[in-house]
Amino acid sequence: MRRIIAGCFVAAGLMLATAVGAQTPRQDLPPTMTCPGDQIVWVNTNSGIYHYQGERYFGSTQQGKFICERDAQREGDRPTRNGQ
């Protein structure tokens, strides 16, 4: 029984460490950046998926950039499908 409980604690610790390491610190939106008539999005440059302000991964993936949504679409990037 002790082995099972110990195994559960080890598994929970590994899952927590993975979840914590999944996101990088949030990048600040450049104060001079504007997109007249459009909105600024964060493109994860590894996946080509972009996130809107207020979503979980906006400004916080390991590789990414702030860009106007129309420019992101022209590059072939697409919006997130799950709202994160």
pLDDT for residue 16: 46
pLDDT in tens, 55-79: 999 999 999 999 999 999 999 999 9
Q: Domain extents for the chain?
A: 25-84
**Do the Cβ atoms of 36 and 68 come closer than 8 Å?**
no
- Name residue 51's beta-bridge partners: 42
pLDDT in tens, 2-12: 666 655 455 55
- Give the other-Cβ count within 10 Å of 80's Cβ: 18
pLDDT for residue 83: 83
Is the pTM higher than 0.75? The answer reads: no
pLDDT in tens, 26-66: 888 899 999 999 999 999 999 999 999 999 999 999 999 99
